[in-house]
Amino acid sequence: MDKTLRIYAWFLLVVTALPAAARLGKPRELARIVMARYQDPKRRRRSRITGFIYFGLALLGIPFLLHAQARQARWIIILLLLVMLSALESLFNSRASGEDVLATQNRWFGGVYASIAIATVLLLFTR
């Protein structure tokens, strides 16, 4: 793997492992922080719009995936999954009605972030 891809892979590992740790380690505390932020309806709306923008960006990335070399395609898939996960999290968080719902969502999203981190580690150390 060339140096640029290796740096990118480590970056992906960090941006998936840290959110996984936060969401799985302290889901209720994170839910309280998010609920406090979303007391303002403007922030909820902004989060919803951000989710749609992220989802659109992920869709725009699909042509890059179709034209990428096999080595690069693996990393583009990880990136697109990460962007779509961020989009879904923004959309779901903006619609959450209470702390318990957000804590449950944090556990689910933390598990998915952890899965992506594991996939990143496997790709990083097996290629």
Taking residues 119-123, what's their average pLDDT? 91
Q: pLDDT at residue 93 above 80?
A: yes
**Contact partners, residue 72, CB within 8 Å, separation at least 6:** 5
Taking residues 27-33, what's their average pLDDT? 94
Q: Give the start-to-end residue ranges of the domains of the chain.
A: 3-126
Tell me how far CA of residue 92 lies from CA of 20, 47, 106, in angstroms: 17, 9, 10
Helix intervals (H) in the chain: 3-25, 27-37, 41-66, 70-95, 99-126
Q: Are 27 and 89 in contact (CB under 8 A)?
A: no
Taking residues 90-97, what's their average pLDDT? 91
Q: Are 34 and 102 in contact (CB under 8 A)?
A: yes
Indicate the average pLDDT of the chain. Answer: 91
Q: pLDDT at residue 127 above 80?
A: no
What local confidence, expressed as pLDDT, does residue 83 receive? 93
What local confidence, expressed as pLDDT, does residue 74 receive? 86
